Chain A
Amino acid sequence: MDAKEIIARRVAKEFKDGDVVNLGIGLPTLVPNYIDEDVEIILHSENGFTGIGPAPEADQIDPNLVNAGGMPVTIIPGGVFFDSAMSFTIIRGGHLDATVLGALQVDEEGNLANWMIPGKLVPGMGGAMDLVGGAKKVIVAMTHTAKGDLKILKKCTLPLTGAKKVSKIITEMGVMEVTPEGLVLTEYNPEYTLEQIKEATEADLIIPENIREMC
């Protein structure tokens, strides 16, 4: 299994039947492939609908039906279209059970930076600030480091997307929960030693006695 598959498989276990979930662009979109058959989640697309279905066949592409990344998608039976105000009422109003997104940096206080690198990359926040600020559970799903650069820090140095909002960080190395005491490594991937995981993490990791193997 490659890192992305390990992460997506583990994220898929975070949801319970009936959850309303928004998945960010990239790695998070792999998550539905691994969700248990008896768990039905409602996928929210911030451009204005719930019930995102699989990508259409090439000859079935409908230019009026795209996801928040502008890619052609489908809508499943029971899905609903709405405008942008309703879409963010769902997000900001506490009606979204979870959001899963990537990060440039995340820190032990649950701060998240993923919308700009000053002077280098300024794509804009799109809906990310609302998702991070509004979702009941904010799950960061990403590779543990970026080409050797540490991303799980004591304190984010890049401009924040949201302050103290992250609930959980899931990487190919393990699962970390943000707590008032700091980052707790609740699960680890046995392909790595705890020392290797600590080395790949700038933030202090609290290792509980009941740490489990990541599955």
Chain B
Amino acid sequence: MKKLVSIEEAISKIEDGMTIMIGGFLACGSPNKMIDALLQKGVKDLTIIGNDTGFIDRGIGKLVVSGQAKKVIVSHIGTNKETGRLMNEGKLEVVLVPQGTLAEQVRAGGAGLGGVLTPIGVGTPIAEGKDHLIIDGKTFLLEKALRADVALIFGSKVDEKGNVYYHESTRNFNPLMATAADFVIVEAEEVVKVGELDPHLIMTPGLFVKQIVKA
């Protein structure tokens, strides 16, 4: 199965109204070529799941500024003024989630779980409207699993079977998101031949990855 495709071919999978996970943390480890291709294609009404909305000119933030996102599910929007402005004008729905909860919701989505129980957020505004469960005397919130139509992730070294190695702090949400979407596209900083990556050091098994594009 040939996974290495052009950006045009990969981007053709993304349509208006889709839910997309995008890896990265403040644009570090984000699939920037794919984000630019989404801007160019102009798909709209996207629901974007990511750690944050990056900056106005870097990372997920570009898709907020362009008005292509109708909803974002993220832990932080403070580095992108446009997110707050659009939210206040009622043009963008923003769901703020504690970062660790977001990571577990995505992990659960990829692991076939319905959700997770976390003590984080009990007694704060984010607990409002959520199911509270008391287990062995301790209160937990039920946070449902998250899945997406497409995940766009970034890998530092990717072999032609889609096995991924992430360098330094680019890893963040990428390996979690690779498990939690129907269609996973990895943007590879470097594409290598099968066998070149030490199997011990592969962080995302290629079975999760449908397509590879070159960064």
Contacts and interface: CB of A to CB of B under 8 A. Distances in A.
A85 B98 contact: no
Contacts of A159: 124-125
6 tightest A-B CB contacts, nearest first: A123-B78, A163-B123, A88-B100, A70-B26, A130-B100, A129-B98
A163 B141 CA distance: 14
A83 B176 contact: yes
A84 B51 contact: yes
Contact of A46 (B99, B156, B167, B171): B99
The interface size bin for chain B is 35 or more
Contacts of A123: 76-78
A29 B125 CA distance: 28
A46 B121 CA distance: 17
Interface string A121-139: 0111111111001100000
A130 B171 CA distance: 19
Contacts of B101: 129-130
B87 A122 contact: yes
Interface string B116-127: 001111111110
Contact of A125 (B28, B87, B98, B168): B98
B66 interface: no
Contacts of A111: 123
Given A47-B28, A85-B107, A92-B118, 7 more contacts: A64-B168, A66-B25, A66-B28, A68-B25, A83-B173, A88-B104, A126-B76
Interface in A30-69: 45-49, 62-66, 68-69
B175 interface: yes
Nearest to A75: B168
Nearest to A159: B125
Contacts of B126: 125, 129
A126 B169 contact: no
Interface in B170-211: 170-176, 203
Interface of A: 45-49, 62-66, 68-70, 75, 81-85, 87-88, 91-92, 111, 122-130, 133-134, 159-164
Contacts of A161: 124
A160 B125 contact: yes
A84 B172 contact: yes
6 contacts: A49-B169, A84-B102, A87-B103, A126-B99, A127-B75, A159-B124
B42 interface: no
Contacts of A46: 99
A157 to B, nearest CB: 13
A207 B190 CA distance: 62
Given A125-B76, A129-B98, A163-B124, A84 B173 contact: yes
B121 A81 contact: no
B171 A83 contact: yes
